[in-house]
Structure 1
Amino acid sequence: MSEHREPQLPADLRADCGSCFALCCVAPAFTASADFAATKPAGKPCGNLSADFRCGIHTRLRGSGYPGCTVYDCFGAGQKVSQVTFGGQDWRGAPRTARRMFEVFPVVRDLQELLWYLTQALALPQAEPLHPELALLRERTERLTLGSPEELLALDANAHWQAVNELLLRTSELVRADTLADRKKQRRGADLVGARLAGADLAGANLRGAYLIGADLTGADLRGADLIGADLRGANLSRADLTGSVFLTQPQLEAAKGDAATRLPPGFSRPGHWPVRQHS
Structure 2
Amino acid sequence: MTALRPAVDRDALRPACGDCFALCCTALGFCRSADFAADKPAGLPCEHLGPDFSCGIHDRLRPRGFRGCTVFDCFGAGQVVSQRLFGGVSWRDSPDTTREMFAAFKAVRQLHELLWYLAEARERTLDPDTAAGVHRLTDTIATLTQMDVPGLLGHDIAALHAEVRTVLMQLSEEVRAGYFAAGDDHLEPDLAPGADLMGRNLGRRRLCGTDLRGACLIAADLRGSDLAGADLLGADLRDARLEGADLSAALYLTQPQINAARGNPATQLPPGLSVPPHWTGG
Same fold? TM cut 0.5: yes
Q: Secondary structure at the match of 1:273?
A: helix
In 2, the alpha carbon distance for the partners of 1:144 and 1:48 equals 33
1:238-277 paired onto structure 2 within 5 Å:
238-275=243-280
The residue aligned with 2:169 is 169
The residue aligned with 2:202 is 197
Structure 1 gap segments, 5+ residues each: 1-7
In 1, the alpha carbon distance for the partners of 2:124 and 2:217 equals 25
Identity %: 51
1:3-18 paired onto structure 2 within 5 Å:
9-18=9-18
CA contact (8 A) 1:173 1:180 kept: no
- How has the CA–CA distance of structure 1 residues 254 and 127 changed in structure 2, closer, same or farther, with 3 Å as cutoff? farther
CA contact (8 A) 1:225 1:245 kept: yes
User: TM-score of the superposition, structure 1-length normalised?
Assistant: 0.91
Structure 2 gap segments, 5+ residues each: 1-7
In 1, the alpha carbon distance for the partners of 2:255 and 2:177 equals 25
Q: Is 1:228 matched up with 2:233?
A: yes
Instruction: Between the two structures, name the one with larger relative contact order (CA 8 Å, sep ≥ 6).
Output: 1
Q: Secondary structure at the match of 1:189?
A: coil
Q: 1:171 Cα shift?
A: 0.9
The residue aligned with 2:108 is 108
The residue aligned with 1:88 is 88
Equivalences, count: 269
Q: 1:169 Cα shift?
A: 0.6
What is the one-letter code of the residue matched to 2:198? V
In 2, the alpha carbon distance for the partners of 1:118 and 1:227 equals 14
The residue aligned with 1:77 is 77
In 1, the alpha carbon distance for the partners of 2:40 and 2:32 equals 8
CA contact (8 A) 1:126 1:175 kept: no
User: TM-score of the superposition, structure 2-length normalised?
Assistant: 0.91
What is the one-letter code of the residue matched to 1:256? A
In 2, the alpha carbon distance for the partners of 1:201 and 1:128 equals 30
- How has the CA–CA distance of structure 1 residues 10 and 263 changed in structure 2, closer, same or farther, with 3 Å as cutoff? closer
Deviations 1:13-63 (Å, cap 9, x if unpaired)?
Answer: 000101111100000011111111111111100011101111111111101
The residue aligned with 1:133 is 133
Deviations 1:97-133 (Å, cap 9, x if unpaired)?
Answer: 1111111211110000000000111111434542122
Q: 1:152 Cα shift?
A: 2.1
The RMSD of aligned alpha carbons is: 1.7
In 2, the alpha carbon distance for the partners of 1:133 and 1:83 equals 30
Q: Secondary structure at the match of 1:91?
A: coil
CA contact (8 A) 2:238 2:260 kept: yes
Deviations 1:155-211 (Å, cap 9, x if unpaired)?
Answer: 222111001110111011111113569745761111111111111221111111111
What is the one-letter code of the residue matched to 2:200? A
CA contact (8 A) 1:121 1:171 kept: yes
Dislocated runs of 4+, deviation >4 Å: 179-186
Q: Is 1:58 matched up with 2:58?
A: yes
Q: Secondary structure at the match of 2:36?
A: coil
CA contact (8 A) 2:179 2:228 kept: no
The residue aligned with 2:4 is none
What is the one-letter code of the residue matched to 1:219? G
Q: 1:212 Cα shift?
A: 0.3
Could you tell me which of 217, 220, 224 is aligned with 1:219? 224
In 1, the alpha carbon distance for the partners of 2:193 and 2:15 equals 29
In 1, the alpha carbon distance for the partners of 2:139 and 2:104 equals 20
In 1, the alpha carbon distance for the partners of 2:141 and 2:125 equals 22
In 2, the alpha carbon distance for the partners of 1:216 and 1:222 equals 13
CA contact (8 A) 1:127 1:175 kept: no
CA contact (8 A) 1:134 1:167 kept: yes
